[in-house]
Amino acid sequence: MSYQTNEDNIYGIGTFITAKEAPTIKLKITTYIQRIYYCSVVGDDTAKQKAYFERELIEPAVPG
């Protein structure tokens, strides 16, 4: 299937976010491909990237 969409994401690349499965671990979105967010663990360069669907992420708090 050649259908690819990369323009329907809510969170941009470089956004700091957390996942519902582990809300204490801070993540940074590094890539978005076919509705999957690929995230790296902030402060742990040896950890594997994690892949999440949008519904698995917690919306970042707006400072203010």
Rg of the chain taking only CA atoms, in angstroms: 12
User: Is residue 10 a part of any domain in this protein?
Assistant: no
> Does the residue 6 lie in any domain?
no
Please indicate, yes or no, if residue 3 is contained in any of the structural domains.
Answer: no
The answer to whether the predicted template modeling score (pTM) of the entire model surpasses 0.75 is: yes
Q: Which of these, 30, 36, 27, lies nearest to 6 by C-alpha position? A: 36
Strands 36-41 and 22-33: antiparallel
pLDDT digit of tens for each residue in the chain (64 aa)? 455 556 678 999 999 999 999 999 999 999 999 899 999 999 998 999 999 999 999 988 766 5
The phi, psi pair for 9, rounded to 5°, reads: -80, 145
Residue 1 lies in a domain: no
Beta carbons within 8 Å of 19's beta carbon, 6+ residues apart:
25, 27, 39, 50, 52, 56, 57, 58
* The two structure tokens encoding residue 11: 């969170």
How many domains does the chain fold into?
1
Range of the domain at 41: 16-58
